[in-house]
Amino acid sequence: MKLWGGRFEEGSSALLERFNASITFDKKLYRYDILGSLAHAKMLHSIKILNDKEYADICHGLQEIESEISNGEFTFNISDEDIHMAIESALTQKIGQAGKKLHTARSRNDQVALDFRMYVLDSNYNIRQQILELIEVIITLAKSHTKTLMPGMTHLQHAQPINFGFHLVAWCCALKRDIERLESSFVRNNFMPLGSGALAGTPYETDREMIARELGFKAPTLNAMDSVSDRDFALDVLYDLAMLGMHISRIAEELVLWSSYEFKFITISDKYATGSSIMPQKKNPDVPELVRGKSGRLYGNLISLLVVMKSLPLAYNKDTQEDKEPVFDSVENITISLEILKETLKTLTINKDNMLKACKIGHLSATDLADFLVKTSNIPFRQAHHITGKIVAYAESKHCDISDLSEDEIIGLDPTIKSGIKEVLDIAHSMESRKSLGGTSSTQTMQQICTLETWLQSTKDTIPNTKPTYTQHISTSNNPSK
C-alpha cells in the first residue's frame, strides 16, 4: 500500500512506478531529508504534537536510518517513489505509530523544496571553497612569474609583451567574480521553505522560525505558495556554475594551446596527461580538454531547468521533479573539474625560454615605437602609427623582429624618429613601461597580486560564516549516496 494509497482501489502499474519515481536519483538527498525531519520533529515536539517518547523514537529511528543508508545497508524500493517516502516508511516500520505522525504540518512539496535547497546551498559553499583554493594556486604561480615575458595576444595573434604573472592574475579576476556570484546566490536563497505545506500553509501552530534557526537558515521563506513552486535557487546555482564553467574552459583552452608544439610554453605533468593508443609519441592534454568540454553540459543543465520551469502554473507541479538531475550533474562535474584543474596547475612546468623566444616573433613592441614618436616628436598618434607600419614592413622584408633593428637603421628609414628608440623597442622595457593602473608592468602586476591576496585572506576568514550550519552534521561529502 502506498503512503498516499487511501483513495485508490487498484495498485499502480509497474510502468507508472518506474516513470514516476525519483528515488533512483533523489536518494542523494537523504542526509538533508533526515536533518530536515529531525528539525521538524523537534518543532512538533515543542508545540506538543509529539510527546517525549514519540519524539525520542523518531530521532532514534531517523539516526538509525541515516547510518543504514550511509553504510549501504538500506534497500531502496522503486515503489517508495522518492527519498521522502522511503525514509518515512522505513521509520514507521521501525517505530510504528509515531513514525506516522512525522508528516504532520508538512507535505512532500515543502519537504523536497527544503532538502533540495539544503543540497544547493551546501554545494554552493563547497564550490566557493574550491575556487578559493584554485585562486590560491594560481596566485602562487603568478608571484614567481611577474618578470617572465610572454607574448600577450589579441585575435590569438601576437600583440604586446606581457608577463606571465599578469596573465594569471587575469584568470584570478574572473574566478573571484565567480565566488562573489555564488555568494550572492547563497545570500539570496538562504531561506527555509518547510512548513509551507502543500501550497497554502498548515492549520497547526507551527514554529517555522524555530526550524529555520535549527537548520541555520537566515529566516523562513515568506509565502507558502512561492516556497513550493520556486526553483530560482537551483537556477541561480546552475547559472553560476555555467559561468564558472565558461571561465575554466577558457583557462583550459589556453593550457591546451600552450602545451602544443606550436607554443611549448608549458609542459603538463605526466600525472595529468594521457597517451594515444596508436601513436606512441603522443602526450595529450585530455585534462584541460575535458574541463573545456564540460561547459557543454553546464550550459545544457541551465537551459534544461529553465525550460522545465517555463510557464508552469503555481504551485507545485510534478514537472519540478526534473530539477534535480541537472543540478547534481553540474555540481559533480564542476567539483571534479576544479579539483583536477588545481592539481594540473600545481604540477605544471613553465617553459620561460620558449615564452621569451615567442616574444621575438610578431613585432610585439611596435606600439612602443608609435608611442615613442608621439612623446618625443610631438606628432599625432595616427601619423606615428603609419610611420611605425613602414618600419614593421622593413623588418618583415629583412625577416627579423622590429626589436632587432639597429637604431641607425630605424632613424635612416624615418628621420622623425629620435635616438633612444632602441631601448624602447626592447621587449622587457616594453612590458615594464605599461605602468598604468591595472597594466602589465611587474610592479603593477605585483600590486594586483597584493590586492587579490588581501581579498583572498578576508574571504577565507569570512567564508565560514556562510557555511550552512546543518552541514556540521554532514560529515563526508556533499553527494552522500551514489
Q: Which segment (143-151, 254-262, 315-323, 338-346) binds ligand ARG by CB under 6 A? A: 315-323
Q: Which segment (89-97, 144-152, 318-326, 357-365) binds ligand ARG by CB under 6 A? A: 318-326
Backbone angles phi, psi at 152, to 5 degrees: -80, 145
Q: Select 109 or 333, whichever has its Cβ closest to ligand ARG.
A: 109
- Restricting to residues 243-272, name those near ligand ARG by CB under 6 A: none
Closest distance to ligand ARG from the beta carbon of 179 (Å): 29
β-bridge mates for residue 161, sequence order: 151
- Restricting to residues 86-125, name those near ligand ARG by CB under 6 A: 108-109, 112
To which H or E segment does residue 343 belong?
helix 324-346
Closest distance to ligand ARG from the beta carbon of 6 (Å): 15
Q: Which segment (142-150, 166-174, 231-239, 313-321) binds ligand ARG by CB under 6 A? A: 313-321
Please name the residue that has the C-alpha cell 579539483: 339
* Whether the Cβ atoms of residue 151 and residue 254 lie closer than 8 Å to each other: no
User: For 284, which DSSP code?
Assistant: B
Q: Select 321 or 337, whichever has its Cβ closest to ligand ARG.
A: 321
Per CB under 6 A, 321 contacts ligand ARG: yes
217: nearest Cα among 470, 31, 462: 470
Per CB under 6 A, 391 contacts ligand ARG: no
Q: Which segment (70-78, 134-142, 286-294, 314-322) binds ligand ARG by CB under 6 A? A: 314-322
Q: How many residues of this chain bind ligand ARG (CB under 6 A)?
A: 10
Among positions 54, 66, 80, 82, the unique one binding ligand ARG when judged by CB under 6 A: 82
Closest distance to ligand ARG from the beta carbon of 338 (Å): 27
Closest distance to ligand ARG from the beta carbon of 26 (Å): 6
* Whether the Cβ atoms of residue 449 and residue 459 lie closer than 8 Å to each other: no
3-state SS assignment for residue 22 = coil
State the cell numbers at 333. Answer: 562535474
Closest distance to ligand ARG from the beta carbon of 320 (Å): 5
Cα–Cα distance for residue pair 260/257, rounded to 1 Å:
5
> What's the maximum distance between 2 C-alpha atoms anywhere in the chain?
101
Cα–Cα distance for residue pair 164/336, rounded to 1 Å:
26
Q: Select 110 or 254, whichever has its Cβ closest to ligand ARG.
A: 110
Checking 33-36 for CB contacts under 8 A at 24+ apart, the result is 33/83, 33/84, 33/87, 33/111, 33/115, 34/62, 34/63, 34/65, 34/66, 34/87, 35/118, 35/215, 35/470, 35/473, 35/474, 36/111, 36/114, 36/115, 36/118, 36/194, 36/215
Cα–Cα distance for residue pair 100/3, rounded to 1 Å:
10
Closest distance to ligand ARG from the beta carbon of 174 (Å): 34
- Restricting to residues 371-390, name those near ligand ARG by CB under 6 A: none
Q: Select 112 or 131, whichever has its Cβ closest to ligand ARG.
A: 112
Give the E-state strand segments of 99-148 in sequence order.
Answer: none
Q: Which segment (86-94, 287-295, 303-311, 316-324) binds ligand ARG by CB under 6 A? A: 316-324
Q: Select 79 or 376, whichever has its Cβ closest to ligand ARG.
A: 79
Q: Select 118 or 348, whichever has its Cβ closest to ligand ARG.
A: 118
Q: Select 318 or 482, whichever has its Cβ closest to ligand ARG.
A: 318
* Pairing, β 266-267 against β 191-192: unpaired
31: nearest Cα among 465, 478, 329, 386: 478
Point out the residues that are catalytic: 155, 276
User: For 216, which DSSP code?
Assistant: T
Among positions 320, 330, 333, 430, the unique one binding ligand ARG when judged by CB under 6 A: 320
Per CB under 6 A, 22 contacts ligand ARG: yes
Closest distance to ligand ARG from the beta carbon of 82 (Å): 4
Q: Which residues bind ligand ARG (CB under 6 A)?
A: 22, 26, 82, 108-109, 112, 316, 318, 320-321
